[in-house]
Amino acid sequence: MAEETIFSKIIRQEIPTPLLYQDDLVTAFRDISPQADTHILIIPNKLIPTVNDVQESDELALGRMITVAKKLAADEGIAEDGYRLIMNCNSHGGQEVYHIHMHLVGGQPLGRMLSIK
């Protein structure tokens, strides 16, 4: 069984955080260290440590993460110019909190996604 994370406490509002969206499957809130003008985290309410741990039964929540990203991008006024959705997996992928989450970033030109060596 995966251990609880800070995100688990945010979902339950044990750590008071202004929520931008919450339903029975997902929760969304602003990143505390934004990397762009708009930087929102969208997380499944079920604790799934990494993308490698996703099960078929999680597909509805993962799909909801994308439809919520679309809604929030429109609400934030960044849908027309564009935005980026990012999910990191494990240490080489840059994952810091082991509760999968999607970063919705935008509000400015983001440039290339990766610098290829």
* Active site residues per annotation: 101
Q: How many other CB atoms sit within 10 Å of the CB of residue 72?
A: 20
Cα separation of 36 and 47, whole Å? 26
